[in-house]
Structure 1
Amino acid sequence: MYALIMAGGKATRLAMGEKALTRVHDEPLISFVVTAVTKAGLDPVVVVSPLTPYTTNYCRTHAIDWICTDGAGYIEDLRQAVEELSITGPVLTICADLPGISAEHIQTVLEQYFESGLSACSVWTNNQIDGHVLNNYRNELLEKIPGTPVGLNIIRGDMIDKEQEELQIVLDDPFLTVNINTREDIELAEKLLCFSKKS
């Protein structure tokens, strides 16, 4: 099963070059995600674009499979990757800026997804770290339970242009809330990684 790692965006908010190569504890963000999906038994393919040439070079030099899409946007690039790879079954999609992701998270999601028998899956987490609200996103499908989308989903490739019945999974791990959009996010991620290694 493929894991499409989405790494083709501009990352204008971060303003530190290509986001996938932004370093947390001197390790590029994309390496956390590639390691997690590989340990979970999936085949990682990094979805790059003309906007991310250095990420493409990183994939080349580290023997990571990649596909270059047009850079038209997240949904458009995802659709293009699915079509060019001829994916007809389930495919996991994941953002490249999730330093808190682990193989165990992904395996939990896969188990629940396949048990559900549904076509699609989205993953959410609680929206607080030490009482600090990171995001007050509310999902109507979860009956307005507060939560933050993780940036980890499963869809069926043969239904990519159709509405897919979706399983919503909530993982109780606020570290998954942290994706990297600001320098403050990097500092928070480094603190949480230090804490997780000690615990």
Structure 2
Amino acid sequence: MYALILAGGKASRLGMGEKALVRFLNRPLLSYVIESVTSAGLEPFVIVTSQTPYTSNYCRIQGIPLILTDGAGYVEDIWQAVLDLSITGPFLTICADLPGITPEQINSVLDLYKESGYPACSVWTPYAVDLPTETIFRIKDTNHDIPGKPVGLNILRADLIEEVQDELKILIEDPFLSLNINTREELVLAEKIFSSGCKRLNQQPIIL
């Protein structure tokens, strides 16, 4: 399966140049995601635009496959990459600023997705949530409600490109997955958490 890694945005809120190349514990953010998706057995392609020339150069130097899109928007760039790669089945999308993702988590998501029969899948975490009430979920087959925020990892089917795809929603209770890097403050906080020796939660994903 292809893993399309989104790395074509301006990252104006962060203000540190191209986000995918921002140093996180002395490594580019993008390198963490590349390492995890390849270790999970997926084939990575980094989606870049004219706004991210240094990320494009980094990928070429490192031998990382990339797709140059028009930068028309998040969804538009994904579909352009899908068409350029002639993808016809399921594919995974993931943000380049998710250093906390692990190969084990990706494989767990893939297994649940394949078993579910749903055409699409989204991944959520209950941590660091400050979102409207519509992001409160009822855990399947229970009376327990739980908040959730999107992680930035999804699965879609290319052959249903023109349709609204019903999605399996998976929640992973791992605080490291809440660490999307959008501001300098979030970068500092994430580095502190990663450097603290805090143990990862080894909990099974929850179907919402």
**TM-score band w.r.t. shorter chain:** over 0.9
Contact 2:119/2:156 (CA < 8 Å) preserved in 1? yes
Aligned length: 194
CA 1:198–1:84 in structure 2 vs 1: closer, same or farther (change >3 Å)? same
Q: 2:130 aligns with which of 115, 130, 135?
A: 135
Alignment correspondent of 1:189? 190
SS of aligned partner of 1:91:
strand
Residue deviations 1:102-134 (CA, integer Å, cap 9, x gap): 101101100100010110000000123xxxxx5
SS of aligned partner of 2:94:
strand
Separation (CA, whole Å) in 2 of partners of 1:3 and 1:18: 20
Where does 1:79-158 land on structure 2 (aligned, <5 Å)? 79-128=79-128, 134-139=129-134, 142-143=137-138, 145-158=146-159
Separation (CA, whole Å) in 1 of partners of 2:107 and 2:194: 20
Separation (CA, whole Å) in 2 of partners of 1:45 and 1:177: 23
Separation (CA, whole Å) in 2 of partners of 1:39 and 1:195: 24
Separation (CA, whole Å) in 2 of partners of 1:38 and 1:197: 25
TM-score normalized by structure 1? Answer: 0.92
Where does 1:11-90 land on structure 2 (aligned, <5 Å)? 11-90=11-90
Deviation at 1:142, TM superposition (A): 3.1
CA 1:190–1:76 in structure 2 vs 1: closer, same or farther (change >3 Å)? same
Alignment correspondent of 1:166? 167
Contact 1:125/1:149 (CA < 8 Å) preserved in 2? yes
Separation (CA, whole Å) in 2 of partners of 1:173 and 1:6: 22
Deviation at 1:158, TM superposition (A): 1.1
- The alignment-based identity, stated in percent, is 58
CA 1:64–1:137 in structure 2 vs 1: closer, same or farther (change >3 Å)? farther
Residue deviations 1:57-95 (CA, integer Å, cap 9, x gap): 000000000000001111110010011111111100000
Residue deviations 1:124-154 (CA, integer Å, cap 9, x gap): 00123xxxxx533554583574111000000
Alignment correspondent of 2:141? none
CA 1:141–1:121 in structure 2 vs 1: closer, same or farther (change >3 Å)? farther
CA 1:108–1:66 in structure 2 vs 1: closer, same or farther (change >3 Å)? same
Contact 1:125/1:170 (CA < 8 Å) preserved in 2? yes
Unaligned stretches of 5+ residues in structure 1: 129-133
Deviation at 1:189, TM superposition (A): 1.2
Separation (CA, whole Å) in 2 of partners of 1:137 and 1:149: 13
TM-score normalized by structure 2? Answer: 0.88
Q: How big is the alpha-carbon RMSD for the aligned residues of Structure 1 and Structure 2? A: 1.7
